[in-house]
Amino acid sequence: MPRVETGACFCGAIAAAMDGEPFWICYDHDDDCRRAIGSPLTIWVGYRPSQFRLLKGTPKAFSRTPGVVRTFCPECGSSIGYSDEGLPDELYLTIGFFDRPEGLRPQAHAYWNLRLPWVDFADKLPRIDRYSRKRDRKFGNPRDR
């Protein structure tokens, strides 16, 4: 039976199902994401948009960085995910949106050079100072905002 993950915001107004395996799971130490999520770092879980099924509610969208659209619950403010024009056919959901996040193990650290100085990991995962995915250069780098 194919893998299906479910997720919901804090108040339950937004719910979704994600069909199949995520293609990428990564710690993110980027300061933009830190502000958007309200946490020292997050873990993004990557799916294809076709794997994402909205079951309940309508997320609100916001963009501060050209080409990057973040979604969140308009009722409770919980972060849901983001899409990036420079990463076509990729949708990233925050680990906090998942009902059972314990089965979603990160594969790398992105923006390692932007981590908070007191954040330390003993893992042996790759530490990448920029995006962990190959991003289309024609969209620029959000770090250069």
Name the pTM for this structure: 0.91
Q: How confident is the model at residue 142 (pLDDT cuts 50, 70, 90)?
A: low
The model's pLDDT over 59-84, given as tens digits with 9 standing for 90+, comes to 999 998 888 999 999 999 999 999 99
CB atoms within 10 A of CB 59: 19
State the total domains in the chain: 1
- Structure tokens, 81: 């995910």
Mean local confidence (pLDDT), 89-118: 96
Query: How confident is the model at residue 133, as a pLDDT?
Result: 73
The answer to whether position 72 is within a domain reads yes
Q: What are phi and psi of 111, to 5 degrees?
A: 55, 45
Name the percent of the chain lying above pLDDT 90.
77
The answer to whether position 114 is within a domain reads no
The answer to whether position 62 is within a domain reads yes
The answer to whether position 101 is within a domain reads no
Q: Which domain holds residue 61?
A: 1-96
Q: How far apart are CA 78 and CA 74, in angstroms?
A: 8
Query: How confident is the model at residue 67, as a pLDDT?
Result: 86
The answer to whether position 107 is within a domain reads no
The answer to whether position 121 is within a domain reads no
- Structure tokens, 127: 């530490």
Q: What is the CATH number of the domain that holds 49?
A: 2.170.150.70
The answer to whether position 119 is within a domain reads no
- Structure tokens, 53: 């099924």
Distance in Å from the first CA to the final CA of the chain: 43
The model's pLDDT over 2-39, given as tens digits with 9 standing for 90+, comes to 999 999 999 999 999 999 999 999 999 998 889 999 99
The answer to whether position 105 is within a domain reads no
Query: How confident is the model at residue 143, as a pLDDT?
Result: 60
